[in-house]
Every structure is written in C-alpha cells, then in structure tokens.
Amino acid sequence: MRLEKIKLAGFKSFVDPTTVPFPSALVGVVGPNGCGKSNVIDAVRWVMGESSAKMLRGESMADVIFNGSSARKPVGVASVELVFDNSDGKAGGQYAQYSTISVRRQVSREGQSTYFLNGVRCRRRDITDLFLGTGLGPRSYAIIEQGMISRIIESRPEELRVYLEEAAGISKYKERRRETENR
C-alpha cells in the first residue's frame, strides 16, 4: 500500500483544490518557511482520523479550515483525500480487492466530520480499521516528527512494545479482543 497523492481543498493554507503527487518512494517537499510543508503532513494525520486539534497544531478542530487571508475570504468546508496504490493487496480484508483505495475526510464549521472510503460514506472506525496493523495511522511510526526518535529511544519497554506490536501486525487483534471484552 503506497500513498500516491493527496488532494486538499479548504484545508489550512490550501484553499484552492490542490493535488500533491508522490510519484516515487522518496519525495522531498521543499519551500520557504510558512509555505505549507507541515500542513501537508497535518492533512495526512487528519484524514487518518486524528481527533486532537493539538496534534494538528491548532486549538480547535475548525482551525483546519482555511480561515482567510488578506486577499481571500474564509471558506466553510475542508476536505482532504488520500489516494493509495494497493496493487500489492496489503490493505486487508474486504479492501484487498481494490487496486486503488481512496480515503477522504470532510468537515464544515458547524461540526461533525464525514468520512468516505472509495467515495462511499463510512464511519471513522472503518478508516482506523483499514490502517490498523499496516503501520499507517494518525499516531503510527509512519510519520516521524521532530523529537520522536529520541522519544522512542528513551521510552519505557511497555511503550516500545506498542510500536513493535503494530509492526508485527498484532495490534489489530489486540484491539478486536479489547472491544469484544468491553461488550
């Protein structure tokens, strides 16, 4: 499963519909301070279900919606879509059959987020389920931010175990067991 492109509209500084392509395994995003490089990473976390505004460098969830500039009025809706190449069939279960998987999240100023999987409306849980055990996900080791390496090095064995279990694909089953036990 490989990220092919990100489509943004109304998300943070990306007010107009913008496609950020990832044509190969190694892509560098460069640009002057404040041009929106980190906003692209925030967009990826956000689609994958991040629910903490602080993790997205904002104070409230509405801070992800373009809030205007000297030349442009604010907009009412933010949308981000991740398009994955799944020709290796790594996305498990019912999604293995799709060679392309699209995951989209949309939010308006009024409130609730809506999620879409291959264009069909779904629950946030369906999105987190899709990524669980793949190493992707809003807080996974797929996104390594400043300070994270030293945090991993200094983490306690039980914290380290969470990363190892995700890498080994065990976390998915642990989550299912936890849900069953809580029923």
Residues at the site binding ligand ATP, with contacts judged by CB under 6 A: 12-13, 31, 33-39, 63, 65-67
> In the sheet that 113-117 helps form, which strands lie side by side, from edge to edge?
18-21, 2-9, 77-85, 100-108, 113-117, 120-122
Distance, in Å, from the CA atom of 13 to the CA atom of 66, rounded to the nearest integer, reads 6
36 assigned binding-site residue: yes
The reply on whether position 134 binds Mg ion by CB under 5 A is no
86, amino acid identity: N
79, amino acid identity: S
Please say which residue, 3 or 41, places its beta carbon nearer to ligand ATP: 41
Q: ∠ at Cα 36 (31, 41), nearest 5°?
A: 110
Helix/strand/coil for 163: helix
**33 binds, options Mg ion, ligand ATP, none, Cβ within 5 to 8 A by partner type:** ligand ATP
38 assigned binding-site residue: yes
Report which of 10, 140, 103, 18 is spatially closest to residue 63, judged by C-alpha positions.
Answer: 10
**23 binds, options ligand ATP, Mg ion, none, Cβ within 5 to 8 A by partner type:** none
How many CB atoms lie under 10 A from the CB of residue 120?
9
For residue 117, list its beta bridge partners: 103, 120
Binding mask 33-52 for Mg ion (x = CB under 5 A): -----x--------------
Please say which residue, 40 or 78, places its beta carbon nearer to Mg ion: 40
74 assigned binding-site residue: no
118 assigned binding-site residue: no
Please say which residue, 39 or 106, places its beta carbon nearer to ligand ATP: 39
Please say which residue, 35 or 144, places its beta carbon nearer to ligand ATP: 35
With residue 165 as reference, give the H or E element that holds it.
helix 157-168
92 assigned binding-site residue: no
Extract the annotated binding site for ATP.
32-39
Binding site for Mg ion (CB under 5 A): 38
